[in-house]
Structures are given as C-alpha cells and as structure tokens.
Amino acid sequence: MIGAENIPSTEGTSTGGDASSALYVHPSDSPGMVLVSVQFDGIGYRSWRRGVMRALSVKNKLGFIDGSCGKPTANLPQLRQWQHCDDMVTFWILNSLTKEISDSVEYVNDSVELWKELEDRYDQTNRAKLYQIQKEINDLTQGNLDITVYYTRIKKLWEELNTLNMRNQCSCTCTCGAKDGLHKAE
C-alpha cells in the first residue's frame, strides 16, 4: 500500500487548490466545451478572436495562448497538470473552428503554437479591408432601418475599423510619417 506521503499533491489541480491558478481546471471544464457561440470559418477573425480571448480570460487560461504560462521543465511536478491544461485549451480552440480550419492546424504542438498559427494566417490588416469598411461606413444610411439597428450597424463598423487601425498604432517617436497618416485617416 502506498503511504500518504507518496501521493502527489492536488494543490492547484482540478480536484482542489487555488482556483485563481492558471493550472486550475474546474470540474465542469471538458475538452468538448464550446468557447464561442459561432465557429470561425475564415471570416470575421477579429470578432472570433475577441470572443475566444474573453472566454479564456474568464477561465484564467490566456497565459496558455500568449506564452506567459510557459511549459514547466520536465522534472517539475506541475508538468502533467500544465500539459492537461494546455491540451484542454487546445481542444477548446479547435472546437471553435470549422472542420476545414481545425484539420489544417490539428498537428500543432501546443496552444501557443496553435494561436500563433491562427494569428499569422488570419490576422492580416490590409488596405483593401480598411477601404471596404470605410466604404461600408460611408454607404450606410438609416433609410427604413430602426434607429437601434442603424446605430448597431454603424457602431460595429466603427469598432472594426478602430480595431484594424489599432494594429497600425505605435508609441514610438515617429520619423517616417506613419503617425501623421493615421491621424489624417482618423
């Protein structure tokens, strides 16, 4: 019989411990859980991304995709718990993608690699997208729309435009004129 002193601690794991730890897994968490209501199909990446990040933030798992909750060294007891949590986050993200996209990234090693792959592939800001949104804003009229519907549509477009423009913002001292161009566009 194994003595109690040989049983690994469950502190910080799903069976007990600190619920604020990134390694904590709530008993209701499962690999089949859905993070966002609509699967990402290649369109609307930034909205989907925002929903996933909010869901992971609520579960205290953002560190798995941004790299701040790094993999422990092989000899640490937390390695198995970290792997369990990372696999869970990877499953959650894969479940929030359409089958075609999910199949294209299923062989990544961990959740941070999965997230980086999705960011590299879909988080592209280009002038054509900026132009398209600006044109939609310019062409939008209330017409026979209810004021609430009209406001919701224009607010969504403005937020999407702002999100695209945020990618171009910097806090450095500008010598190339990019900041002036951004202010002019605004």
83 shares a domain with 58: yes
Q: Are residues 47 and 109 in the same domain?
A: yes
Assess whether 137 and 63 both reside in one domain: no
Domain range for 178 is: 127-185
Distance CA 149, CA 99 (A): 32
pTM, entire model: 0.65
Same domain, 140 and 100: no
- Measured in degrees and rounded to the nearest 5, phi and psi for residue 85 equal -65, -40
- Pick the last residue of a domain from 87, 122, 157: 122
- Does one domain contain both 97 and 58? yes
Residues 54 and 141 in one domain: no
Judge if 74 and 147 occupy the same domain. no
61 closest CA partner among 97, 103, 99, 25: 25
Would you write out the chain's pLDDT as a tens digit for each of its 186 residues? 333 333 233 344 444 457 888 888 888 888 888 899 999 998 888 889 999 999 999 999 999 999 899 888 877 778 989 999 999 999 999 999 999 999 999 899 999 999 999 998 888 766 777 888 889 999 999 999 899 999 999 998 888 887 776 655 555 667 777 666 665 655
Q: Decide which of 122, 140, 164 is a domain's last residue.
A: 122
Domain count for the chain, please give it: 2
